[in-house]
């Protein structure tokens, strides 16, 4: 066999490589046999090029198909070391560097290899430094190092690298990849709240998107990325009405992409060899931003419809693709639909979906790290809905400790303030919170929606304190802001509270003018708590005005809403998942013990 190998080295190498590929692509894959075939290559003392490539192939197979990270790392390190000594060997050299740094980052949360992530940065920097004559790899490695800095929440370094990438792409004549770098930078600037820097960047990207002529799928995917960034920008600012034209364009774009066939003709510029996201992932992303918009605007049935579509698509994709971005999409979708369920009076379903988010986070420490604050916030909202105010306070306090995101922090503080208002005996803590979310001065975020909500919270407090004129001023400000941006839930809540104030003041006609549209809007959303409140108020109003038929009809509606909410309340509190309300430390609990029936009352619902 050695003699044959000496005479025709290519034949033994190609035979072993063919066997290895056959075993790797078998159904199911026979990874152990594939690895044996590749390891056998070293018995023939192959030339350096074959040796380096085989180490890369072994490292890749072990990394992607086994849990033997140590052995994968050894082979990839050898591939990287040997390939640096060989001229004109860029594909192996830079793929080894890219895969090795990815492996180092995957080990970040491993107790055995915690410090390996620090090895990834100098490795990528070295690869970036020596790849400047290879545009595709230079751009790919810059993206990879920027992603690593982003994962470590070093957004400044990530933005700098993306800026370097955009300039390099411009110099090598790749406007498409330049736009990808700029849009990625724009996404990070939004995360950093550097809105003044986002505007000129979006303008430049818009020009590139319109003028670049190339692969139709790449062009449309650039347009999708650009529009997603614009939509996110508007939604972050709570400008729900302003976003509608962008959202419409985005939905048209994704329909166009779905009709295009993947063009197998490679771009003439190697720096253009990038795809932002697969078509199927883009489709889920468009569903996701549509759900985000519908949730903020208060179109909850539409949010439900698009969530169902997105989750169905995700289930299909996850059967074939274990990409972490799919789990992120799934968690964000669930977070939004859970809030919808709590509003529409489906607490038991919301609680089961919170438990589903916990299970997804158990599978990925990185996912839990990114979503822990949101998870505790959702539990806090659930606690409010079942009148467990002490638990709600504990959940919101935990969420505040875990987040550095200003919008989420403001949302949590607003909801915690509502808990203190309901409890009625936490005056000092309440005033401390309200100082920090004063909508009249130094409001902490630029979100139109959150500022409108802060006015509502002030109005609610003034109402409970009997300062009705002050309450009306705050609520009219909320109404003005919520009407300007179609924030239907805030509009409905403000109208019914104003109706309550006018009823207390004896102005029945004005009260009716507020409550009737509140009821109509709450039915359209649908918001079960506002419907319950409105029907109770309509019953009292019609009774006071001597309209016995209308009073009877309102009383019947109120009874129906009460029964639905009571049944859902009992169902939710009877679930074993209800014990999640006590979880405030560490990772999500693995098992949830059942408990003996509900422990809460409906006292706060009326």
Q: State the Cα angle at 181 between 247 and 205, rounded to 5°.
A: 45
pLDDT of amino acid 65: 85
Q: Above 50 in pLDDT, residue 602?
A: no
pLDDT of amino acid 506: 94
pLDDT of amino acid 589: 83
Count CB-CB contacts under 10 A for residue 573. Answer: 21
Q: For residues 357-374, give the mean pLDDT.
A: 91
- Contact by Cβ (8 Å): 345, 565: yes
- Does residue 297 fall inside a structural domain? no
Instruction: Return the minimum-mean-pLDDT range out of 41-55, 138-152, 167-181.
Output: 41-55
pLDDT of amino acid 595: 43
- Contact by Cβ (8 Å): 398, 409: no
184-231 pLDDT, tens digit per residue, is 999 999 888 887 888 899 999 999 999 988 888 888 889 999 999 999
pLDDT of amino acid 264: 55
pLDDT classification of 116: cutoffs 50, 70, 90: low
Average predicted confidence (pLDDT) for the chain: 88
237-293 pLDDT, tens digit per residue, is 888 888 999 999 999 998 888 888 765 556 777 777 777 788 888 899 999 999 999
pLDDT of amino acid 236: 85
159-180 pLDDT, tens digit per residue, is 999 999 999 999 999 999 999 9
Alpha-carbon distance of 354 to 274, in angstroms, equals 36
Q: What percent of the chain lies above the pLDDT cut of 90?
A: 63
- Does residue 134 fall inside a structural domain? yes
pLDDT of amino acid 111: 41
Q: Above 60 in pLDDT, residue 96?
A: yes
pLDDT of amino acid 272: 76
Q: Which alpha helices (DSSP H) does 345-426 contain, by range?
A: 347-363, 365-385, 389-402, 406-423
CATH number of the domain enclosing 79: 1.25.40.10
pLDDT of amino acid 592: 57
Alpha-carbon distance of 69 to 470, in angstroms, equals 64
Domain of residue 41 covers: 12-152
- Does residue 226 fall inside a structural domain? no
- Does residue 593 fall inside a structural domain? no
Q: State the Cα angle at 603 between 599 and 606, rounded to 5°.
A: 145
pLDDT of amino acid 164: 97
pLDDT classification of 597: cutoffs 50, 70, 90: very low
- Does residue 422 fall inside a structural domain? no
539-595 pLDDT, tens digit per residue, is 999 999 888 999 999 999 999 999 999 999 999 999 999 999 999 999 888 755 444
5 or 176, higher pLDDT: 176
pLDDT of amino acid 258: 83
- Does residue 528 fall inside a structural domain? no
Look at the block and give the residue holding tokens 């290519």.
10
Domains contained in the chain, number? 1
Q: Above 60 in pLDDT, residue 600?
A: no
pLDDT of amino acid 457: 97
Q: Which two tokens stand for residue 201?
A: 């960047």
Q: Above 60 in pLDDT, residue 108?
A: no
Q: For residues 6-34, give the mean pLDDT.
A: 75
Nearest of 148, 141, 34, 50 to residue 98 by alpha carbon: 141
- Does residue 105 fall inside a structural domain? yes
pLDDT of amino acid 322: 77
507-526 pLDDT, tens digit per residue, is 999 999 999 999 999 999 99
pLDDT of amino acid 606: 32
Give pTM, 2 decimals: 0.85
3 state SS of 374 = helix
- Does residue 64 fall inside a structural domain? yes
């Amino acid at each position: 066999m050695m003699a044959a190998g000496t005479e025709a080295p290519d034949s033994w190498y190609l035979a072993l490589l063919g066997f290895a590929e056959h075993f790797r692509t078998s159904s199911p894959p026979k990874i152990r046999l594939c690895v044996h075939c590749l390891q056998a290559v070293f018995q023939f003392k192959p030339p350096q090029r074959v040796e380096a490539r085989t180490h890369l192939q072994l490292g890749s197979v072990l990394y992607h198909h086994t849990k033997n990270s140590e052995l994968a790392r050894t082979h990839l390190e050898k591939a990287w070391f040997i390939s640096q000594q060989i001229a004109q060997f860029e594909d192996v050299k830079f793929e080894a560097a890219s895969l090795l740094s990815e492996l180092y980052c995957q080990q970040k949360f491993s107790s055995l290899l915690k410090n390996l992530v620090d090895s990834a940065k100098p490795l990528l920097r070295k690869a970036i430094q020596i790849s400047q004559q290879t545009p595709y790899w230079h751009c790919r490695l810059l993206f990879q190092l920027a992603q690593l800095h982003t994962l470590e929440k070093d957004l400044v370094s990530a933005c700098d690298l993306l800026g370097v990438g955009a300039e390099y792409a411009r110099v090598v004549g790749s406007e498409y990849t330049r736009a990808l770098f700029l849009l990625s930078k724009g996404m990070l600037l939004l995360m950093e709240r550097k809105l003044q820097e986002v505007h000129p960047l979006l303008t430049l990207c818009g020009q590139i998107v319109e003028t670049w002529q190339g692969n139709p799928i790449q062009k449309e995917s650039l347009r999708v990325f650009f529009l997603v960034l614009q939509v996110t920008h508007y939604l972050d600012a709570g400008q729900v009405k302003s976003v509608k034209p962008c959202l419409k364009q985005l939905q048209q774009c994704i329909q166009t992409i779905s009709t295009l066939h993947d063009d197998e003709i490679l771009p003439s510029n190697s720096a253009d060899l990038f795809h932002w996201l697969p078509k199927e992932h883009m489709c889920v992303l468009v569903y996701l931003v549509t759900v985000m918009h519908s949730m903020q605007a208060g179109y909850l049935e539409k949010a439900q419809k698009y969530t169902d579509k997105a989750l169905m698509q995700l289930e299909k994709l996850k059967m074939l693709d274990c990409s972490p971005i799919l789990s992120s999409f799934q968690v964000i979708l669930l977070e939004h639909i859970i809030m919808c369920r709590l509003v529409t009076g489906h607490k038991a379903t919301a609680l089961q979906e919170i438990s589903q988010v916990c299970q997804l986070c158990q599978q990925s420490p990185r996912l839990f790290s990114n979503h822990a604050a949101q998870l505790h916030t959702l539990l806090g909202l659930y606690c409010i809905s079942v009148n467990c105010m002490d638990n709600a306070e504990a959940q919101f306090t935990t969420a505040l400790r875990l987040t550095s995101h200003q919008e989420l922090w403001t949302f949590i503080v607003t909801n915690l303030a509502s808990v203190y208002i309901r409890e009625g005996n936490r005056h000092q803590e309440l005033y401390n919170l309200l100082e920090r979310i004063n909508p009249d001065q130094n409001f902490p975020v630029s979100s139109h929606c959150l500022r409108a909500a802060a006015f509502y919270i002030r109005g609610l407090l003034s109402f409970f304190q009997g300062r009705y004129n002050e309450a009306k001023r705050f609520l009219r400000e909320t109404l003005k802001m919520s009407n300007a941006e179609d924030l239907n839930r805030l509009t409905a809540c403000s109208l019914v509270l104003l109706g309550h104030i006018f009823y207390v003041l004896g102005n029945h006609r004005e009260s009716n003018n507020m409550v009737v549209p509140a009821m109509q809007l709450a039915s359209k959303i649908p918001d079960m708590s506002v419907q319950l409140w409105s029907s109770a108020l309509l019953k009292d109003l019609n009774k006071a005005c001597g309209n016995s038929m209308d009073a009877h009809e309102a009383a019947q509606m109120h009874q129906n809403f009460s029964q639905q909410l009571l049944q859902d309340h009992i169902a939710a509190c009877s679930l074993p998942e209800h014990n999640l309300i006590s979880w405030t430390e560490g990772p999500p609990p693995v098992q949830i013990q059942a408990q003996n029936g509900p422990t809460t009352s409906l006292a706060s619902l009326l």
